[in-house]
Amino acid sequence: MDGDWRAGLFRRIEERTDDLVALTQELIRVPTVNPPGDAYTACAEIVGKRLKARGFEITYARGVDTPGDSDRYPRTNVVARIAGTGPGPCVHFNSHLDVVAPGNGWTVDPFGGLVRDGKVYGRGACDMKGGLAASIIAVEAILDAGIPFPGALEISGTADEESGGYGGVGYLAQRGYFSRPRVDHVIIPEPLNVDRVCIGHRGVWWARIETLGRVAHGSMPFLGNCAVRHMGAVLERIEHDLLPRLARKETRMPVVPEGARRSTLNLDAIHGGQGEDFTGLLSSLVPDRCRMVFDRRYLIEESPEEVRGEIVALLEALKRERPGFDYELHELMHFAPVLTDAQAPVVRAVSAEVEAVLGRPAVHVVSPGTYDQKHILRVGHLEDCIAYGPGILDLAHQPDEYVGIADMVNSAKVMAAASLRLLTGAVP
């Protein structure tokens, strides 16, 4: 890697700072809120039209028949590809286009793209339109600099990461977009901080427990069987038995923040008895159903069988001990933990460039939650994948979310130089 060549590339990225900021603002101003998955087509077209003008081959792929897809809310994905001077590997940058709802607490317009004090504000600034913009500028700078490279560069903007990714990366992965020989190395510019390389995520098991009972008149509860009381017994076991055991399970995975280096369980929602979607009074009834949805995050040291087995054992013990206790258990979603080898080419190339650009060693981390890498590994069978982007992890999904302009510029340099290392085989 020639020093002058690097200096020229980095100068071009710095000269494009205003362009980088304007592109980030343009992306933020399209409110791709998911759910329901609004305005994907408009956002995908910003990427597609811009890169088409730079000579990229553009493909729009709608995730038809995936959750939430409809003519009103099409799951539009865009993939842009530009070939180099000859045969070689492909480096792919994948960003999700969707953002979560802004929620309360904003002091600026969440879709305004305000620039203040070196930061761009807005829903999705950090997670992850700033990362998408940085990857576009990185690739454009390589082309502007006229640096010859073999193989190909790809950039995609995809739907539905915030809701599981089935209509986005999951859909594309099933069609070969994230497999060899089309793609060799994938960088996902999720917000993990500009000096950190994310090599995986914990596992997730989402499930629903229903306790079952029998209706009766509420004035004579002894004639019925109260599903809410049974759920109370489940909660008591979780509180006093399961949660303390999970808190003792520690992992060697370098999960950030540190509190997530243990097994965790969140109780997402609970409902029993009559609905709440009316005004007025309830009838007097003993509830015959109570349902709870929970979110279990697990470690590479645990097996899915063990994770499921803990819950089944807890429920079966209650069935033996409590008269009238019965339950159903429904799995909603499962993804195993992902951990990319720290010696994988994409990890080494990006880590080397983080150190070269920022002057400090890259920190390898693991995300507490999942992201689209799961589809790339499971469906695409591609292991050379990381998350690396300019956003600050703690700001994701928060009010007054922003991305630092200097962090975007630095991450664009890392992305550009790391891509060239991977394409030319100059991996340290």
User: Which residues contact Zn ion by CB under 5 A?
Assistant: 127-128, 190
User: Quick one: tokens of 20?
Assistant: 């980088």
Q: What angle do CA 89, 388, 10 make, to 5 degrees?
A: 75
For residue 23, give the nearest of 106, 138, 110 by alpha carbon.
Answer: 138
Judged by beta carbon, residue 149 or residue 371, the one nearer Zn ion is 371
Judged by beta carbon, residue 127 or residue 195, the one nearer Zn ion is 127
d(CA 83, CA 289): 58
Judged by beta carbon, residue 173 or residue 311, the one nearer Zn ion is 173
Q: How far apart are the first and last CA of the chain?
A: 10
DSSP 314-360: HHHHHHHHSTT-EEEEEEEEEE--EE--TTSHHHHHHHHHHHHHHSS
Judged by beta carbon, residue 140 or residue 190, the one nearer Zn ion is 190
Element (H, E) at 36: none
Shortest Cβ 98–Zn ion spacing (Å)? 8
* CB-based contacts of 227, cutoff 8 Å, min separation 6: 210, 211, 212, 213, 272, 273, 287, 288, 289, 290
Shortest Cβ 385–Zn ion spacing (Å)? 15
Angle at which helices 227-237 and 304-321 cross, to 10°: 130
Catalytic residue among 127, 140, 154, 161, which? 161
Element (H, E) at 292: strand 289-298
Looking at residue 240, the DSSP 8-state letter turns out to be I
331 belongs to the catalytic site: no
> Closest residue (Cβ) to Zn ion?
127
In contact, 118 and 404? CB cutoff 8 Å = yes
98 belongs to the catalytic site: yes
Shortest Cβ 190–Zn ion spacing (Å)? 5
Shortest Cβ 162–Zn ion spacing (Å)? 7
Judged by beta carbon, residue 172 or residue 216, the one nearer Zn ion is 172
Cα 182 vs. chain centroid, distance in angstroms? 23
How many CB atoms are located within 10 Å of the residue 87 CB? 9
d(CA 358, CA 193): 12
In contact, 286 and 230? CB cutoff 8 Å = no
Judged by beta carbon, residue 89 or residue 368, the one nearer Zn ion is 368
Judged by beta carbon, residue 158 or residue 264, the one nearer Zn ion is 158
For residue 191, give the nearest of 419, 407, 421 by alpha carbon.
Answer: 407
For residue 390, give the nearest of 187, 107, 150 by alpha carbon.
Answer: 187
Judged by beta carbon, residue 318 or residue 393, the one nearer Zn ion is 393
Residue 67: exposed, middle, or buried by beta-carbon count in 10 A (0-12, 13-18, 19+)? middle
Looking at residue 282, the DSSP 8-state letter turns out to be P
How many CB atoms are located within 10 Å of the residue 235 CB? 14
Instruction: Tokens 């808190």: give the residue.
Output: 247
Edge-first strand listing for the sheet containing 119-121: 115-116, 119-121, 402-404
Catalytic residue among 69, 98, 190, 195, which? 98
Instruction: Give the active site residues.
Output: 98, 161
